[in-house]
Amino acid sequence: MSKLVIIANRLPVTITKREGKLALHPSTGGLATGLGSFYREKKGVWMGWPGMPSQNLRGMEGEVNSRLEELDCRPVFLTRHQVENFYHGFSNKTLWPLFHYFVQYTTFDNRLWEAYKKANRYYCKAALKVATEEDTIWIHDYQLLLLPGMIREKLPKATIGFFLHIPFPSFEIFRLLPWREEIMEGLLGADLIGFHTYDYVRHFLSSTRRLLGYDHNLGLITTKDRMVKVDTFPIGIDFLRFFRAAELPEVKNGIQRMKRRIGNRKMILSVDRLDYTKGILQRLDAFDLFLEKHPQYRDKVTLVLVAVPSRTKVDQYMQLKKEVDEHIGRINGRYGTLGWSPILYLYRSLPFTTLTALYNLAQVALVTPLRDGMNLVAKEYVACKRDNLGVLVLSEMAGAAREMGEAIMVNPYNPKEVSNALKTALEMGEEEQRERSLRMKERLRRYDVRRWAGEFLEKLTSIREIQERMEAKKLRGIALRHFLDEYSQSHKALLFLDYDGTLVPFADRPDKAQPDREIKAILQDLATTSQNRIVLVSGRTRETLDQWFGGLPVDMVAEHGVWLKEQNSPWELIEPLKQDWKGVIRPIMEVYVDRTPGALVEEKEFSLVWHYRRSEPELGHQRARELKDALLNITENLNLSILEGSRVIEVKPSNVNKGMAATRWLSQGSWDFIMAVGDDWTDEDLFDAMPPQAYSIKVGLSISRARFNMDSPYRVQGLLKEMVKVKRESYE
Ligand code: GDG
């Protein structure tokens, strides 16, 4: 039976050892609390590091294993060296700062990269002991970016999902990584890649396009051999757990205790791991400014600052701790009185009950990260409010800002804005507080962490189904045997072959597009081993086709069906075509050439083509969409069609296409074998024109009306060679 295997850097429980005895504690962090119960309900297992170097657990592995097994957890034991170089090292000194746009904190060290690769391989090895190809494997976060690819290599048929909990940075930042291609390839081993927000999706897709050349269609990337879906899944929280917390006696007591401690003052709450991305120093500066500018609030508010110790062995974190201490000391020194400290500083991890007591009591939550994948504290605060009173001040740099528009939004780098927001929050009327809170809360209730996980897994299943449908259409196995049998027995075969993207991959430079000797030899052999008729059906001009294939015994179709040529005959126009429309279309295209560096207009005899292969890809795509929009109305009236090819937009008369051109040959005789191969949507007309028994083959894995699919031009070349071979054998 298939099972769910969650793999994350950490387990949902952490092991500690005191006086030789092991103890398990729930791990902090959104993932652990959120999915902690979900995976068990699903009868899944969770793999990850138990939080202590393996040297400290020597001799106790058996006990660790069995205690964890009771919780359906499987440990991945990391040595001290691995913790140092993989976890504190590449993960937290390279990926974490870079992905949060802290380039100045990023270490680029090949030694750490090697440790990262090795650790990912180590997780892979551990995973292979637990997971099979039938299982659903869900990998989490930036520590394991290479793992999807590594598992895919060993379990090609496994269902693999990946979710990134931190931001995916813009290409301009991501490109700085010396190991960027390997990281992208690693991630693309997954079937589904999830991010918190659409911005991160956009950034990721842009990097795949620029670094690996993979385009996408609505987030569906076609890699060399598979389809990978990229989508947005904003993580939710365990809503009811927070919503109901106020009913717990410990929480009620906690609220009373805290009330006594801060008296009649209003509480402003700040909760984070002590991390430079969370903007704690900037927040303190803003609070300082607030007290300076609004003296009436002195002794009327208390900022409760909870900072959970984190990555205490990394230099920047040690430095940050020092600075936070100094800032707090300065502010408390400057404004504090005998009976009042402006900031109550708690540098430790609090029990859930204390944390939720604070959420309940706080009038304002000040959540101002400089960059944050999502930020769960913002969500938890709102969920805890039974009476819907309390105001959230939220950084626009947190992923949560995309969903929590009712919060007071701030730029965390602007102390004046944050200070003003604090004032607005403290003075907001109850009606408005309720209204804002309620709307956010309803969304949090509906889209909680279970729903988040459920939707991710559902999407993963659906992408697998699409892949399977594509797989089933691949020309291989029995279908391929039939194909070759039929072909070898045929006496009169008709083969339509597109060129660019079908017989050869798309070339990034025009001078690389020419057929090489091997392609020509294949065509020559194919044409001469039998009574075959080969028709090259291309969008290229007559001149180019003549120049490239003139000496071969093949027929040709140029400009997507405008010109036809049978061997030893001159080119013929498919039918008389008008040219006057070009005067209307060309100026529009030229406007878009001026606006898009690298774009150009090519005039073919009966069509106009706007190329943007050499433009900056994002801009090119954007402009292509705009151009298409601009052309749509006009082309309809002029009876023209717009073809969208690979980085081209072509306009040509509607009554001409590759399918119509093909009918010339189809009607010429009784063929006992017909095949049509093409890769883009101009070839769909060709497929449509084929009789039912014909083999229509789409190159690439996207949806098509063709009967079969093939992965790539290399496979097509292989198929053609095989056809030559079986034909020769049939004569022997
Ligand atoms: C990463 C991404 C993304 C905090 N202090 C205490 C405590 N916590 C809990 C909170 C919350 C979690 O830790 C922190 O989650 P965040 O989302 O705020 O931040 P990261 O740890 O950086 O998490 C982040 C998240 O992954 C999920 O995808 O949102 O952007 O960086 O749940 O409640 N819990 C307890 N005591 C504390 O003192 N018990």
Tens-digit pLDDT profile for residues 407-422: 999 999 999 999 999 9
CATH numeric code, 474-575+656-731: 3.40.50.1000
Using a 6 Å cutoff on CB, does residue 237 contact ligand 1? Answer: no
Of the listed ranges 297-301, 466-470, 544-548, 576-580, the one predicted with least confidence: 576-580
Using a 6 Å cutoff on CB, does residue 355 contact ligand 1? Answer: yes
User: Is residue 280 within 8 Å of 274, Cβ to Cβ?
Assistant: yes
pLDDT at 510: 63
Residue range 517-542: mean pLDDT, rounded: 93
Going by alpha carbons, the residue nearest to atom 28 of ligand 1 is 165
Between the CA of 86 and the centroid of ligand 1 the distance, in Å, is: 21
Judged against a pLDDT cut of 70, whether residue 265 lies above it is answered with yes
CATH numeric code, 582-653: 3.30.70.1020
Going by alpha carbons, the residue nearest to atom 34 of ligand 1 is 28
DSSP state of 672: S
pLDDT at 506: 76
Going by alpha carbons, the residue nearest to atom 39 of ligand 1 is 352
Residue 633's pLDDT band (boundaries 50, 70, 90)? confident
Residue 101 CB: number of other CB atoms within 10 A? Answer: 18
Between the CA of 359 and the centroid of ligand 1 the distance, in Å, is: 14
Kindly give the number of the ligand 1 atom that is closest to the alpha carbon of 400.
29
Look over the chain and give the mean of its residue pLDDT values, rounded to a whole number. Answer: 93
Between the CA of 29 and the centroid of ligand 1 the distance, in Å, is: 4
Judged against a pLDDT cut of 80, whether residue 29 lies above it is answered with no
In which residue ranges of the chain is CATH 3.40.50.1000 found?
474-575+656-731
Question: Kindly report the CA angle at 680 between 677 and 685, in degrees rounded to 5?
Answer: 70
Q: 287: closest CA among 407, 402, 390, 410?
A: 410
Give 389-409 as a DSSP string: --EEEEETTBGGGGT-TTSEE
Using a 6 Å cutoff on CB, does residue 453 contact ligand 1? Answer: no
Distance CA 519, CA 157 (A): 33
pTM of the complete model: 0.84
Q: Which helix (H) or strand (E) holds 117?
A: helix 110-130
Residue range 53-78: mean pLDDT, rounded: 93
Judged against a pLDDT cut of 70, whether residue 511 lies above it is answered with no
Best residue for ligand 1 mutational test, from 9, 28, 141, 402 (most atoms within 8 Å of Cβ):
28
Q: How many residues does the chain have?
A: 732
Residue range 448-464: mean pLDDT, rounded: 94
CATH numeric code, 4-232: 3.40.50.2000
Using a 6 Å cutoff on CB, does residue 29 contact ligand 1? Answer: yes
Between the CA of 57 and the centroid of ligand 1 the distance, in Å, is: 27
CATH numeric code, 240-446: 3.40.50.2000
Between the CA of 273 and the centroid of ligand 1 the distance, in Å, is: 7
In which residue ranges of the chain is CATH 3.40.50.2000 found?
4-232, 240-446
User: Is residue 90 within 8 Å of 182, Cβ to Cβ?
Assistant: no
Using a 6 Å cutoff on CB, does residue 374 contact ligand 1? Answer: yes
156 three-class SS: coil
Residue 682's pLDDT band (boundaries 50, 70, 90)? confident
Using a 6 Å cutoff on CB, does residue 349 contact ligand 1? Answer: yes
Going by alpha carbons, the residue nearest to atom 13 of ligand 1 is 29
Judged against a pLDDT cut of 80, whether residue 512 lies above it is answered with no
More confident residue, 604 or 153: 153
Using a 6 Å cutoff on CB, does residue 308 contact ligand 1? Answer: yes
User: Is residue 512 within 8 Å of 505, Cβ to Cβ?
Assistant: no
Residue 238 annotated to the active site:
no
pLDDT at 639: 87
Using a 6 Å cutoff on CB, does residue 358 contact ligand 1? Answer: no
| Catalytic option among 498, 683, 685, 711 | 498
Between the CA of 499 and the centroid of ligand 1 the distance, in Å, is: 54
Q: What is the percent of the chain where pLDDT is above 70?
A: 99
In which residue ranges of the chain is CATH 3.30.70.1020 found?
582-653
Residue range 274-297: mean pLDDT, rounded: 97
- The residue behind tokens 């385009």 is 215
Residue 366 CB: number of other CB atoms within 10 A? Answer: 30
pLDDT at 508: 61
First-to-last C-alpha distance (Å) of the chain: 50
Judged against a pLDDT cut of 90, whether residue 574 lies above it is answered with no
User: Is residue 702 within 8 Å of 712, Cβ to Cβ?
Assistant: no
pLDDT at 141: 95
Using a 6 Å cutoff on CB, does residue 506 contact ligand 1? Answer: no
- The residue behind tokens 């027929």 is 555
pLDDT at 335: 97
Between the CA of 350 and the centroid of ligand 1 the distance, in Å, is: 12
Integer angstrom CA distances of residue 378 from 274, 442, 541 = 16, 14, 60
Which 3-state string (H, E, C) describes 445-484? HHCCHHHHHHHHHHHHHHHHHHHHHHHHCECCHHHHHHHH
Using a 6 Å cutoff on CB, does residue 166 contact ligand 1? Answer: yes
Going by alpha carbons, the residue nearest to atom 1 of ligand 1 is 165
